Structure 1
């Protein structure tokens, strides 16, 4: 068994910088286990260069990866510090991920999400990146989908790490609030199939589908409405899961 210290990270709202803190060093079990042959494993630089998209999403080559079991603030999201002043917590979480995802990064797939992204646990010389983000208070444990990191979040909350130093809105609540503020879209005539473009490519959503209501069409970005599935497929879109 190999145990390596994971250095926690604190947010300083005055500058939105990232400072290391050794006072609450965590020790994570990084014992190597053999994954089944069918499990997708992505590594840098073998599968391409790494890019950090936001606080819980990165890309290796052309593959977008959503970090399993965690949920970080959206890039546009702000939080309140202990003085009640706003600071860019979404940008800060992205910066923390960028500091952790350096050198050789290895991601083991767990699932594929509704956007077609690979859902994975990623490790670097810092250890389990997903766990380190939660332990440093840079992300929430996404208990709706997995409970792997719930205990780490409880410790981060108790210690006032990162987002837990003051007021922070859960990313899921922030997204729901943003969706609620947007007017409902009306399809043009009978052409009600939504052709959405995301990091996973071109996906079309059928009325009554699980993600139809929350999908918005931005025609300025090349998204469009379709009158039939045949039309959508002919234009290069594929059916969304769910």
Structure 2
């Protein structure tokens, strides 16, 4: 029961109208732009990081797991530190967006300046200067090729849910000639 109190406090904090008190504590990193403090998931306001399963190309166009790299960098940045998050907005589905800091370091600004995340123009222009600096210095994502995280997510949701064979998979079963009609077995 004692373990429920921090989660309940966080829930009340973010669901009570008019309360925008900062949330402080040790953070767990969910991915490159999401933290959890006292059971509340908090999205870093104004940024968008590659997803955990997303691959990017480095300067030599070799694939690397850019989403996991972003999450790992954030894990190292918040490791053992007290994180303070100031809520900026809450969506209809209760997703909290906040500016989070370790000491004086704005985690969103740090992620974008390091080339580990992008400024989310759909939400705010706050981190565009950091993104321009990362782009100019060819830092992180900007050193190679990558797909915008929002475009990558859109493609993932558009993929068919049924399994399809790869082009290299052996063909098995009864084969009819290309011109022969195929019977519908369903």
TM-score range, shorter chain: 0.7 to 0.9
SS in 2 for 1:105: strand
Q: 1:179 to 1:66 in 2, by over 3 A?
A: same
Structure 1, residues 174-214: CA drift from partner, whole Å, max 9, x if none? 01111121359xxxxxxxxxxxxxxxxxxxxxxxxxxxxxx
1:39 to 2:20 alignment: yes
SS in 1 for 2:121: coil
Matches within 5 A, 1:4-153: 38-44=19-25, 49-102=26-79, 103-125=81-103, 127-153=105-131
Q: 1:114 to 1:175 in 2, by over 3 A?
A: farther
Give the match for residue 227 of structure 1: none
Query: Which one has the bigger helix percentage?
Result: 2
Q: Find the structure with the greater CA-based Rg.
A: 2
Q: Distance in 2 between matches of 1:150 and 1:105?
A: 23
Q: Distance in 2 between matches of 1:106 and 1:94?
A: 18
Q: Distance in 2 between matches of 1:51 and 1:38?
A: 23
**Alignment: residue pair count:** 144
Q: Distance in 2 between matches of 1:53 and 1:126?
A: 22
1:179 to 2:157 alignment: yes
Q: Distance in 1 between matches of 2:44 and 2:122?
A: 14
Unmatched runs of 5 consecutive residues or more in structure 2:
1-17, 163-186
Structure 1, residues 81-107: CA drift from partner, whole Å, max 9, x if none? 122210000000001111222311100
1:155 to 2:136 alignment: no
TM-score, normalization by structure 1: 0.57
Identify which of structures 1 and 2 has the higher relative contact order when contacts are C-alpha pairs closer than 8 Å and 6+ apart: 2
Contact 1:63 1:117 in 2 (8 A): no
Matches within 5 A, 1:201-220: none
Displacement over 4 Å in runs of 4+: none
Query: Which one has the bigger strand percentage?
Result: 1
TM-score, normalization by structure 2: 0.73
Unmatched runs of 5 consecutive residues or more in structure 1:
1-36, 185-242
